[in-house]
Structure 1
Amino acid sequence: MADETPGFELPLLLFAGFRTLIDQLHAELARQGHPDVRPAYGFALQAIGRGGATASELGRLLGVSKQAAGKTVDRLVALGYAVRADDPADARRKVIRLTPHGVDALARSAAIFEELRAQWATALGPGRLRALEADLRAVAPLAGVRLDVPGWFGG
């Protein structure tokens, strides 16, 4: 008997799982002192990373224009998650760097994701979760993961 699940359900289920995790992450981040972090900011914080990035680099990593990246940076700076600093290699450039508040948000996000994964392991069983992760890696390798979700969704 052929599988009767329509093909369009697979991306919807994958997105629903993603959205569930992200929504739970942000609810917990808010409880832990980061109520202003939005999903797009999370991608930007990841792209900036510990090494910093210019607005152009950030735009490229996020798949958005330099101007759109600049607006995101403006908001991250206003919220205390990032600062603009002179680039030691080129005084004409500014590098966006995470503040301790930004680093804290990323560290808390990582810990919260561990908790959420543990909840999924409880709900599905550890073996089934490992199998799900292995199956997803087989069809969508982590090496192909890109941070340009905001730009990709924006078209």
Structure 2
Amino acid sequence: MDAGRGEPDLGMLAGRLTRALQEELFRRLAEEGHPGVRPRHGTVLAFLEPEGLRATELSARSGQHKQIVGTIVDELVELGYVRREPDPGDRRAKRVVPTERGRDEITKARAILSGIEDRHRRALGDERFGVFKEALVEVARSQSDWNRGA
């Protein structure tokens, strides 16, 4: 909290927003047939393409270490959400490809998140929400790049 104003700081607000979004998303996914999916699985599922991606690409997109992505992929294989297939461009490499169950989860997660976003857009109005989201994107990009220019 900011000692002068008693308001939560950026880290507190970002954490609160993330937890609340995840709580709603994963509760609703469980209700729609995906009770085993956890927030950590979003490291793979949120960035996965229909034709699949290499683990190194998932790591780069999610910002997580390749070892963490590998562990999560193992969990998702066991849960039936993804499979590993040879990469057509390099048979030595593997692609992580969503199964039918994985595609269903991805579709439902995106629809749920879109509905959450629409709810907030209606509450704030199109203009205020647009300014908020634009600013949030800029802050997230700036924070992600904080040490690249040093």
State the TM-score, normalizing by the size of structure 2.
Answer: 0.76
Where structure 1 has 5 or more consecutive residues not aligned to the other structure, the ranges are: 147-155
Q: Which residue of 2 aligns with 1:119?
A: 119
* Percent sequence identity over aligned pairs: 34
Task: Give the structure, 1 or 2, with the largest relative contact order (CA under 8 Å, sep 6 or more).
Answer: 1
Q: Which residue of 1 aligns with 2:12?
A: 12
- The separation in 1 between residues aligned to 2:91 and 2:97, in whole angstroms, is 15
Cα offset, 1:94, TM superposition: 1.7
- The separation in 1 between residues aligned to 2:138 and 2:66, in whole angstroms, is 34
The one-character-per-residue Cα deviations of 1:64-110 (angstroms, maximum 9, x if unpaired) are 44333222111111111101112222222221111111111111111
Cα offset, 1:36, TM superposition: 1.1
2:91 match: secondary structure: strand
Deviates more, 1:64-73 or 1:109-118: 64-73
CA gap of 1:31–1:17, structure 2 versus 1, over 3 A, is same
- The separation in 1 between residues aligned to 2:94 and 2:106, in whole angstroms, is 22
Q: Which residue of 2 aligns with 1:150?
A: none
Length, aligned pairs only: 142
Deviates more, 1:127-136 or 1:109-118: 127-136
- The separation in 1 between residues aligned to 2:135 and 2:64, in whole angstroms, is 30
Cα offset, 1:30, TM superposition: 0.6
How much is the aligned-residue C-alpha RMSD, in angstroms? 2.7
Q: Which residue of 1 aligns with 2:50?
A: 50
- The separation in 2 between residues aligned to 1:6 and 1:55, in whole angstroms, is 43
1:116 match: secondary structure: helix
Cα offset, 1:22, TM superposition: 1.6
Q: Which residue of 2 aligns with 1:35?
A: 35
Q: Which residue of 1 aligns with 2:147?
A: none
CA gap of 1:118–1:71, structure 2 versus 1, over 3 A, is same
Where structure 2 has 5 or more consecutive residues not aligned to the other structure, the ranges are: 145-150
- The separation in 1 between residues aligned to 2:80 and 2:68, in whole angstroms, is 19
2:47 match: secondary structure: helix
